[in-house]
Amino acid sequence: MTDMPVVRAVGDSALLIDFGERIDKAINARVVALDRALAASPPPGLIETVPAYCSLLIEYDPLVTTQAELASAAMALAQTARAGTVAGREHVVPISFVDAPDLARVAEQTGLSPAAAISAFLAGCYRVFMYGFAPGYAYMGGVPPALHLPRKPVAERGHPVGSVIIAGPQCLITTLPMPTGWWVIGRTPLMVLDPLGERPFRFDPGDTIRFERMPPE
């Protein structure tokens, strides 16, 4: 991780502020800090910001500002925005392991018992890094190393909304029924996506998640 981010042009109306090249809490904290600083003091012409794991996409109106002006404003804020000064919210997400079609396979491939795999997952502290792929898909890091597995060779169909899925260090709660090549280890009744609500997305980048086991019944 370098001290100063790298600025890249994305077409004629966007910039990418790049802080690193890996899934890392410290890198993402800098992304979130700049995102919040721009929201608090938006420079002229700013349209939207989109945080990702290691970078922040900044969309702007080229009729109002120039690429150089916006880059200068963003870099100035990047130097003063302190990562972690604004704490994310903490959420407790209920999870059931009754509807967990891949739990046995995860346990077998990691050398754990199903009970030990569940305990390891519940012990994890999960951070929301970004949204992507589909509406409400909050990509989280924090899966304990003992549960790290690569994605399946082929995606499997038929997984319902609320499936809790993992792959490598990442975790996600599905908001749409769709195929996935990630490992489905549980399910939550919590509505993560509310398209008609005042806050369509329940989580924000920088928030932390703790999963809490539901009674088997």
Judgement on whether residues 152 and 124 belong to the same structural domain of the protein: yes
Domain that holds residue 116: 90-213
Instruction: Name the residue among 92, 58, 103, 52 with its Cα closest to residue 77.
Output: 58
pTM of the model: 0.87
DSSP 3-state assignment of 47? Answer: strand
Q: Is residue 85 a part of any domain in this protein?
A: no
- The total domain count for the chain is 2
CB atoms within 10 A of CB 20: 18
C-alpha distance from residue 71 to each of 40, 93, 110, 166 (Å): 17, 38, 45, 36
* Ranges assigned E (strand) in 1-137: 6-9, 14-18, 46-51, 55-60, 90-95, 126-131
Domain containing 52 — which CATH number?
3.30.1360.40
What is residue 156's DSSP assignment?
B
Judgement on whether residues 68 and 131 belong to the same structural domain of the protein: no
CA count, 13 A, side-chain hemisphere, 199: 6
Domain containing 131 — which CATH number?
2.40.100.10
Q: Could you report the per-residue pLDDT of 31-87, keeping only the tens digit for each?
A: 999 999 999 999 999 999 999 999 999 999 999 999 999 999 999 998 887 765 566
Q: Could you report the per-residue pLDDT of 170-216, keeping only the tens digit for each?
A: 999 999 998 999 999 999 999 999 888 888 899 999 999 999 999 87
